Structure 1
Amino acid sequence: MPVPVAPHRWPLLGHTPAMLSQRAKFTDALHEHGEVVRLDLGPLHAYFVTDPSLTYEVLVSQGSKFRKGAMFDKFQPYLGTGLLLSNGDHHLRQRRLMQPAFHRERIENYASTMARAAAALVARWQPGEIRVIENDMQELAVTIVGEALFSTEIGKRAVEEVRRSIFTVIQQGMIRALSPSFVEKLPIPGNREFDAAIARMKAVVLEVIESWRADGTDHGDVLSMLLLAGMTDEQTYDEVLTLLTAGIETTAIALAWALYEVGNNPEIENRLHAEIDSVLGGRPVTAADIASLTCTEQIVQETLRMYPIWFVMRRTLVDVQLGDVQLPAGAEVIVSPHALHHDPRYFPAPDRFDPDRWTPDFVSGLPRGAFIPFGGGNRQCLGNTFAHTEIVITLATVAQQWRLAPTRPARVKFTSAPYPNGLLMKAVPRN
């Protein structure tokens, strides 16, 4: 069948102006035009999938017929062949090598690091102080991922550089992904900032690797595990940068938005505090507590629904049938967690923050592919349990001691995801 073309197509530039100006508002509405809709990103034709069952086919049931798409090609010269960008046998090999770092017993060990880092952060807050919450959560996410990766003193210096540079890489990289190739060669400030940030991070991570080679000690961190598995310095760098990029962005965004939404909904906040007090009784939260934190879990799920990444791209390796659409080999396919999570057919009143929607009956009634905060199939984020644990533990740690009251409505800066932009919140002690 003919594939409907999305509205707002410009000559030569295609749908890129609409994507960059309207962001999720544009892509969230594409389900009104069909299950698969054609988008033109400059000269590149892409197929935007709006149906959950077809999304599941792309990510899982027919996942072997796809590889990473054009968006990831733009990042590869800078992020290398880590898990985020690699394909085929190389991807499977690297995934198997890295899976032990995210086994349950490792997550339990990381949980104590998460709780300690979160407690150290909130201990610095002063009563009545106005905090820029997204900055606090970015700092926390970098600290936690950095400590899990690097346990040495030189590793701590690497964490400081990552804190300085990683969000420039993520935000400027997304602009490159949506722009024609010539744009990244222009001598404009965004390109200079991106190139400088990549160079700084590469230098400091390679310095940490060189230091480990000279020492040869297993420090019990992820870097030791990668090097002991026999990876080269370059491959280790690629995987470290992948973990930093993937492990910081999603978590920091989710934490900032969760705290804002809780602070903006007194009824939800009161229920959260009552649950935290009942389950923890004033002691620090542990990984074993998570199963008992039902309200907290619902808040996390709703946050991951409302504020996921914008979209990912895949490329067909062979001809693929998606519903009524036959895609040729080499076709670019777009899947949008944000569009799926805001589809009113599956999430009534999708723009309302409603943790109560996450009942067992509601979850069992969702079609496969409707809720994909961490992707799916063998491309599902390897650190999804790590991230989920970090969000729950941080939310519980903050809620034990503080109420955070928004001082103004939320502002959003949309790049690869809906970034909070100046979430100013007043820290009010609970006791």
Structure 2
Amino acid sequence: MRGISGPPAAAPTAPGRLPLIGHGHQLARRPLEFMNALREQGSVVKILIGPTAAYVVTDPAVTRRVLVTEVDAFAKGGKIIDALRVFFGDGLATIADGDLHMKHRRLMQPMFNKSHIATRGDVMISHVRTATEAWAEGVARDTYEDMNDLTLSTFLVALFGSGLPGHVEREFQGLMPEIMRGTIRQTILPGWVTKLPLPANRAHERRVARLRALIDQAIDHHRAQLASAEQPAPPPGCPAHQDGPRTEGAASQAGLFSTLLTADDPETGPLSHQQLQDEAITLLTGAIETTGTTLAWTLYEISRNPGIERKLHAELDAVCGERPLRQEDLGSLPYMRSVLKEAMRMYGPAWLVTRITTRPVVLDGVPIPEGADVVYSPYVHQHDPEVYADPAAFDPGRWEPERAKSINRSSFLAFGDGRRKCIGEEFAWTELLIVLATVVQRWRLTLTSAPPRPQAIVTVKPDKLSMTPQPRVPTKAQEHEEQPAPS
């Protein structure tokens, strides 16, 4: 056996397994507590999902070997990836390691360049402002649903351009949560159960098929926009010219997805219809669940920490004053970025990730056979008390430059690490900052439900989060109003 480190010794098995289902009941009922407790068992702990063994890595230094230094021994795969592939297909998140993955990553990279994303920034800001200005003062809202709906619609505008048919957006919003719940169900149940012709399995298949039909409609819409942008402008004097050149209007509505529609690999040519579908689904799933969940938790934590709220307001008001947010302001909001990063640390985004061994290995002294599932949890690593002082406390100050020096990069895995690190990280930060800044600039949200409890689905979501918006006056404007009138 080719070892990675240390003399081989059998992995400890987590307590509490049951016949036939192994630890599946614990993963279904109390997954976060169960995974967090594994740290006490060792750096690599064996669990059973049905009769199948999986090896959970609880030490971030060992996880770094899996993702970075010994990455060839741990391929993208495992039960979660197999379940995701049912509706992702071979998108960038699920495609196997190798030349094809690198080709897709190269083709998609220009879409997520900082300068390219910036071209959509003001359009996204305008969309978020319009959506949030429609909120009614003093009327409680489901903040988790709001943030998921808002991040989806904002991402659709950025990805496919404006004017997407309304029914497409609405169906996306209804389908995605159900599909993700079905995927988690397929992950924690034995494989033979997910293959039976059960009503739940058939419903999952129908939802996936409908999602692909919606993706086709979105792609067709975007192709039509690009074709319209390529039409020559009418000559001067023509009546159509009085409404302005069509080229500029259509081009301004084009989205980031044009990068993939026009991509052309020298060896294999453009992406196929199936590949375009797979990548669109991958992008949408990554944008909705993770970003919306992070924003919901962030707004909750701001509402219960007045000092953090005051500091956020002061930073935002110093940058924007009484005018609306602009794309160029995003780089001047470091404290807001720290608040968002702390929400990512505490609540996700993804709480469970798998790899599969490509050969027999010895990982931190534990022998693991070829073809075995290796699991790590960003949630567990980001709550490690040896890395994060008082990990249950929401403390954005831990990300200030001096304090952050003591945090090992392997202990923050919101975007993964290594060659499979999330390609959309820059876009995620842009959308997070735009939505949070726009909401905080216009509203103060107060909790009207019981404090939410974390639920591990794909992300660590709040079980219930109802908040009531009240208008907010920028600090400088408020100070001006409170000054006595000259006598």
- Same fold flag (TM > 0.5): yes
SS of the residue corresponding to residue 20 of structure 2 reads coil
> Residue in 1 aligned with 2:146?
136
Alignment partner, residue 359 of structure 2: 318
Selected match of 2:297 from 231, 254, 257: 257
- How far off its partner does 1:299 sit? 0.6
Aligned mate of 2:41, from 17, 24, 33: 33
Alignment partner of 2:124 out of 103, 114, 126: 114
Verify the 8 A CA contact 2:352 2:376 in the aligned structure 1.
yes
Partner of 1:429: 471
CA contact (8 A) 1:150 1:156 kept: no
Which segment is superposed worse, 88-97 or 158-167?
158-167
Per-residue deviation, residues 177-207 of structure 1 (Å, max 9, x unmatched): 1111233244555434422221211112223
The correspondence of residues 104-183 of structure 1 with structure 2, limited to 5 A, is: 104-151=114-161, 153-154=163-164, 157-183=167-193
User: Is 1:332 aligned to 2:373, yes or no?
Assistant: yes
Aligned partners of 2:10 and 2:144: how far apart in 1? 44
The one-letter code of the counterpart of 1:34 is: G
Q: State the alpha-carbon separation in 2 of the partners of residues 237 and 100 from structure 1.
A: 18
Aligned to 2:255: 221
Give the structure 1 partner of residue 276 of structure 2.
236
Shifted more, 221-230 versus 261-270: the winner is 221-230
1:363 corresponds to: 404
> 1:414: how far off?
2.4
Q: 1:199 to 1:358 in 2, by over 3 A?
A: same
Q: Secondary structure at the match of 1:375?
A: coil
User: Which secondary structure state, in structure 2, belongs to the residue aligned with residue 45 of structure 1?
Assistant: strand
Stretch of structure 1 that moved more, 316-325 or 80-89: 316-325
| 1:20 matches 2:54 | no
What is the SS of the residue equivalent to 1:345?
coil
Could you tell me which residue of structure 1 aligns to residue 392 of structure 2?
351
Distance across 1 between alignment mates of 2:132 and 2:225 = 35
Deviation at 1:223, TM superposition (A): 3.0
Residue number in structure 1 paired with 2:243 = none
Give the counterpart letter for 1:323 in structure 2: D
Contact 1:9 1:15 in 2 (8 A): yes
Which residue in 2 is equivalent to 1:81? 90
Unaligned runs of 5+ in 1: none
Which shows bigger deviation, 130-139 or 276-285?
Answer: 276-285
Distance 1:33 1:351, change over 3 A: same
Tell me the TM-score normalized by structure 1: 0.95
Describe the shift of the 1:270–1:190 C-alpha distance in structure 2 as closer, same or farther (beyond 3 A).
Answer: farther
1:281 corresponds to? 321
Name the stretch that deviates more: 8-17 or 303-312: 8-17
1:296 is aligned with what amino acid? Answer: M
Partner Cα separation in structure 1 for residue 197 and residue 316 of structure 2: 52
- Cross-structure match for 2:11: 3
Of stretches 94-103 and 154-163 in structure 1, the one that deviates more from structure 2 is: 154-163
For residue 242 of structure 2, what is the aligned residue in structure 1? none
The answer for the alignment partner of 1:395 in structure 2 is 436
Q: CA RMSD in A?
A: 1.9
Shift of 1:376: 0.8
SS at match of 2:131: helix
The aligned counterpart of 1:56 is 64
Counterpart of 2:483?
A: none
Moved more, 232-241 or 341-350: 341-350
* Residues 53 and 368 in structure 1, CA contact (< 8 A), matched pair in contact too: no
Separation in structure 2 between the aligned mates of residue 363 and residue 304 of structure 1, nearest angstrom:
15
TM-score (norm 2): 0.84
Q: Give the aligned residue type for 2:274.
A: E
Larger Rg computed on CA atoms:
2
Of 410, 425, 428, the residue aligned with 1:384 is 425
| Cα distance in structure 2, aligned partners of 1:212 and 1:198 | 21
Q: Deviation per CA, 1:344-395, whole angstroms, max 9, x where unpaired?
A: 1111221221112222233221223111101111111111111112111211
* Unmatched segments (≥5 aa) in structure 2: 1-8, 230-250, 264-269, 474-487
1:100 aligned partner:
110
| Structure 2 counterpart of 1:389, one-letter code | T
**C-alpha distance after superposition, 1:264-311 (max 9, x if no partner):** 111211111111111111222234323321221111110000111111
**SS at structure 2 position matched to 1:405:** strand
Answer whether contact 2:113 2:426 (CA < 8 A) is retained.
no
1:199 to 209, 219, 232: 209
Q: 1:184 to 1:163 in 2, by over 3 A?
A: same
Aligned-residue identity in percent: 38
Q: Distance in 1 between matches of 2:307 and 2:52?
A: 48
1:265-304 equivalence runs, <5 A: 265-304=305-344
